[in-house]
Every structure is written in C-alpha cells, then in structure tokens.
Structure 1
C-alpha cells in the first residue's frame, strides 16, 4: 500500500484525502494544530507545522511516504516542493517556480521582464515609508498571504498609510505590494502543463461577493458566460505566455484573471489546485475528475486523454457565506440549498460556530447546481 502525506486538514484537503483513500492509499495529514475535518478523515494525523520544511521532511521520512502534497494552500506549496525535491518524491514544480508564484512581487517582476500582462505595481518593504504612488484607484495586498486577508482598495494618497499597515500586518514577510486596480469580470482557469506545453485549460467565471471584503468569491460557474467568452482566445494566449515566462515544465496551475478593457490581466497564478472545490464543479459539468487526475499523476499514472473531456454543461458552484459570529442553525441548513442542487456540503454541524478566518464573513459550505 502506498502512503501519502497531505499538508493541512481543512475542507479542501479532505477532498484530496478521500480521493487518495479511494485509490487504496494510506493517507497521513499534518498541521500545527489539531483542527479541521481532515484530522478525523485521514488515516493518521501528526502535529507538525506545514510551513516547517525540516519538520515535514523528518515526518515524511519516518512514515516512508510516496508523495507529499496539498490542495488550495499557498503557504503549504513551498514545503511540498522543497521536501519532495530533497527526498526524490514525485512533484510538479521546482522549489524556485513554487516560490516565484507564491510571491506576488517576484511574479509581477518576471511577467514584466517578459512583457506579459502589464500592470503598474510597486513593492513596499516593512520599514519603507509610504511611497509616492499616483495610480488610483489602486489595490494594496500582502506579498505572501492567502485567503483575501489584508487587501484594501484605495482611492487617494490619503488612504495609503492605513492600507499598507494592514497589508504588512497580514504578510508572512511583512512586505506589501501596490497595484493598479484592475476592473472587469473575473475568470479563473485550471491549467495542465506537460513538457512545457499547455495541454488543458478549463476556464470558469468567478463571481465576487458584494460585501465589504475585497475579492471574496461567492460563486463560480462553467462554461464562460457571454460577457467573458469573447476573451477566450486572449486568455489562452496569456496562459501560454505566462507558462513560458515562468518556465513551468509540468503540472497543474491555477490562474486568476480580470478581463479588463485592454484584455485579460493576471491577478495571481498558483502552483496548485484551487481552494474552492472547483474540481467537483468541473466533474459535475464535464465528467472529468481534475483532482483525481492530478493525484494519479503523482502516483505514477499518465495524464488522461484531455481531448475526451466533455463540453461543459452550464453548472454553478455557490458558497454559503454568513456572519462569522453566529452559529449555524438546522433551519438554515435545510432552507439555504437550492431545491435542484446536485451536491450540498456544509462544513460544520448545526449549532457550531463557523471557522473564523476574518471578522466579516465565513464560508459554511457550498452547493452545486445546473445552470447559472
């Protein structure tokens, strides 16, 4: 029996754990605290910090695992790459590529050098004063955080000091990045690269929550709607240019883009699958199991025949977003899903408080249904 080590135990990792267990793989999981549904779902849980490569490497060696992986976690991917590279385990992206994609400033610089996805930006270190920035509106972000934390939209120079303080406070390194605000509909894309060539692109519309936090998705849908389908060819070209500029050789990537009046522009590129369970929406829509394909490749199987992936039928994945300070009720869990939902998952039980990732909104679970 093969063994796998999954870094993290939140809901996205449960998808990976169950997929591997369905392939008769013994799955171990680790985290810096005993928290999340993956603790009980995994065959064994280990109290090890996923951001500590040396500790994770020691654990992987002690268990004797055949692969180390994580889903939807930017902070886990450098550890995945470093440990897998050191131990000679199968992995997709080098530590260098993984770090470049995790660090927003490094990624912007690389794309700028290649003349790809031009976006005005400025890197701000922890002790730097407020810079003389003139492009407004702008967006201020931590360089190396995740989960939409520490992000602000600023309309004038007077807004910059507070926004930079927030971004730096949420950054692992303390560094922030200022960027021109990209305006337009959002499109995500799962991409598979093999031998340096883009073999598969699965684009989907990303619908942003209308609440006060910036960039929180409330739904995703596939295929692209009439407002974004016209940019499909430009999106494909952009993806190919990014893959070449970054030097990606093999593996999955997750692109977040905004379709501006000047064409699609890169928001982020991740060296992993998404954290929104989009593999399940894609499987419901096309029959193709992206998560299983990625994990199977790490287990030594070839990529499937991508040309056999069915044309997407209209499908939506929608999150249950609610107040993080209130417990979920049985009445809500019964009434919130669509009557025709094909899949519903609440990631907590009635009477429980949501997992608090920010003071504004909590994700209780999600549903998938036909249509938009």
Structure 2
C-alpha cells in the first residue's frame, strides 16, 4: 500500500519537527509555503510555493497532489486554510467556521461573551471613526490589537488617550481583515493552557504561568509549567477551558489558550486551534504530559484513532527568555556550553550576528530563550539560570563580551 500523503502548511523551522516526525512514521509529506527558500522543503517528498493563507490556491494544490490529510500545526495564518481544504475534500479537520472562530478575535469575543463567559469590555472597529468613543466606553487602561494576527504583532497597551490614534494605525496595519479590537485590560495572573480535544472531550496537557518583562507587559519573560496544581484550582481552570472550547465549537484537535486569573473570574484572552510556539508543542508538552501531541495531530489529520492519556502527575518545564543590550550584535558565545547543561532541552536564538536588538514591540523581537525540563519548578528555573549565565554577547563597537540577562 502506498504511504499516505500529509500536506503540511508552512515550511519554516517550526514545521521541521512535524515533517521529520511524519516521515519517521512512514508517511509521505507535501509542504507548501509562500516563500521559495524554506528549511522544511529539504525534508519533504514534495514542496510547492503557495501562500498558505490562500484557501483556493491551497485547495487546488491539495486536489492535484491527492493528499490524504492536511495540517497547520504552529501558525494561526494557515489554520483556516487547512480547515477549508479538509472540509472541501472530506478529510478530517476542525471545520472552516470553527477555524475562523479561533483565528478571528472579534468572533472569539462575541461567541465567548454570548456563552456567558467573563470577557473584557470590547469594541470592534473597521474604521477610526468610532475610536475615541470606543476607548471612552471601554475605559483606560486598554488594549488595541488586530483581530487576526499572532505573536503580539500590532498590539499596544495604553494607560491614557495619548497614542490612541497611533495604536489604532499600528493594529490596522497588522490586521489582514482590517478590523481592530479595542478592549479593557484584565489585571491578574496570565496562564497558558494546552490540551487536546477528542470527540468533544478536552484533555489538559499542561498549564503554565506567564511572567511579563517589566518594560513590556504584553511580552512574556518566562513561561513556567509548575507541575501539579491544587485540585480546586485545576478544576476551575478546566471548567472554563471546556466552556470556552464549547463556545468556539472545537470537537477534535489541539488547542493553545491564554487566560487571565482575575480574582473569582477566569477570563479567556486568546485561544488557538494549533500547537503552542517557542517549542511548547514539540519539546515541553511531551515531557510535561507524557503525550506527543504532534504525533496525535498527524494521526488525526490522516484519519487514525487518537488516544490522549496524560500523566496523572505532570512534570515541570520552563521557557526563559533573555535580553541583550540595544544595538547591533557582533557575536554571540556560549551557546554550545549552555545547551550542554543537564536538563536543557534547547537554546534558541531569534537574533544572530548582524541583527539589531531593539525595543520589545512584540514576541518575535525577543533575542532568544532556553527551554529546560525537570520534575519541579524550582529545578527547571535553576537549570535555566545556569544555562543563561553561560551565554555571552558582543555588540558592534564593543571590544569585550558581556553577560546576557
């Protein structure tokens, strides 16, 4: 029997583990991406340059190649396309309308609000005409963001009306649909919940607490999976997660959600029908939960039965983001030594020699991070600190290396 053909949307570094795993499982792989030079192309059986946000062009490619399944596992921009193609070809998928619920924050707010969940006060704007009135009704501090982007791109947090017009223009420039969301800030502890839904039943694979950078409150400096939570806290979170997934219509597949713990309320902030970035999907969840969610996603896309059985006592992991001085990077040292520290799963650099270190405008502007795995929160934080202490950077114009924070 000819091996099944899995269509992977996106050919970047975050799709490389998915392509490798699918090949290791004995499947053929087709990769499509809008760019001509992508690392996953070299691993795939076939590749084509097609914009993964273009539903019709992707459908034509998938039809011509006679795919057996399609997946978009770590980027929001192709989630709706994968669902569209699967629906049109009668393949396993989450459904196009459901995908739009997870990739359009305006739809997300309306549906969770209608379901009776605690949501921020919000207004959706398609022009700047009602901006001042919307801000006055929502009240400061507030968030202005595009409805359909990711990684914090185009997001501004404002404590007063100064900069409101500029924040709207930034969000509008990052919004593919042209819609902008103005919503109240929800104060409290931000958490991430990762999991998998099978036949309408959600299983939690990990719960992490986020710590923001002091000078950039919308960008995380730490994502900490502490291990087991008190039962009452876990059940409160689980109930809100299930209600949110039900409101958005996810019956099967992976999810990566962000909530704010605000006193008695657990407020949905954002939720994606894909795996979490910064190696959560590929490195953290298998350790924390004992479940290879990537393998489950591949199996589900190809019509295989999926079982999700997380460990009864989750393990710990952390993703620690580091900073560098402003300016141009001349050289980074100590990466191999940091990666060799026991318990370090990965050291990742977003910036290289020649790149400019600027303000933390969004998540992708962080210079890099260390992923560490262990049994307790104290252990994984200590491992991360040891690894980061070994990293050094030399900025252009400087004669010596300096420590990375």
Q: Residue 300 of structure 1 corresponds to which residue in structure 2?
A: 303
Quote how far apart the aligned CAs of 1:164 are: 1.0
Q: Residue in 1 aligned with 2:140?
A: 136
| Structure 1, unpaired ranges of 5+ | none
Paired residue for 1:48?
A: 50
Residue 145 (structure 2) pairs with residue 160 (structure 1): no
Residues 1:171 and 1:214: Cα distance change in structure 2 (over 3 Å): farther
C-alpha displacement at 1:142, in angstroms?
0.6
* 327-336 vs 233-242, greater mean Cα deviation: 327-336
Asked if 1:170 corresponds to 2:171, the answer is no
Q: Which residue of 2 aligns with 1:116?
A: 117
Is it true that 1:96 corresponds to 2:77 in the alignment? no
The answer on whether the counterparts of 1:208 and 1:215 sit within 8 Å (CA) in structure 2 is no
Structure 2 regions of 5+ residues with no counterpart? 375-379, 382-405
| Cα offsets for 1:3-39 (capped at 9, x unmatched) | 1111112222112111211101111211111244323
Match of 1:253 among 244, 252, 255: 255
The equivalent residue for 2:208 is 205
Partner of 2:377: none
Write the distance in 1 (CA, Å) between the matches of 2:286 and 2:197.
Answer: 19
Deviation of the 1:364 alpha carbon: 4.2
Please say if 1:17 is aligned against 2:19: yes
- Answering whether residue 160 of structure 2 is matched by residue 190 of structure 1, we say no
Q: Is the 8 A contact 1:3 1:25 kept in 2?
A: yes
Number of the residue aligned with 2:400: none
Question: TM-score normalized by structure 1?
Answer: 0.88
For residues 186 and 293 of structure 1, what CA distance do their matches in structure 2 show? 27
Shifted more, 75-84 versus 250-259: the winner is 250-259
Cross-structure match for 1:8 = 10
Paired residues for 1:183-332 under 5 Å: 183-198=187-202, 200-210=203-213, 212-223=215-226, 231-279=233-281, 280-306=283-309, 309-319=311-321, 326-327=328-329, 329=331, 331-332=333-334
Q: Count the aligned residue pairs.
A: 368
Aligned: 1:125 with 2:114: no
| 8 Å CA contact retained: 2:320, 2:370 | yes
Q: Is the alpha carbon distance of 1:180 and 1:10 closer, same or farther for their aligned partners in structure 2, counting shifts above 3 Å? A: same
Larger-gyration structure (1/2): 2
- Does the 8 A contact of 2:321 with 2:366 survive in 1? no
2:64 is equivalent to residue 65 of structure 1: no
- The CA deviation at 1:368 is 2.3
* Contact 2:53–2:81, Cα closer than 8 Å, also in 1: yes
Distance 1:264 1:158, change over 3 A: same
Contact 2:296 2:306 in 1 (8 A): yes
Matched residue of 1:311: which SS?
Answer: coil
- Give, in angstroms, the shift of residue 148 of structure 1: 0.7
CA contact (8 A) 2:258 2:269 kept: yes
1:82 corresponds in structure 2 to 84
Give the match's secondary structure for 2:205: strand
TM-score (norm 2): 0.81
Give deviations 1:101-135, integer Å, cap 9, x for gaps: 21111111111111112321111113534232232
- Equivalent position SS for 1:253: strand
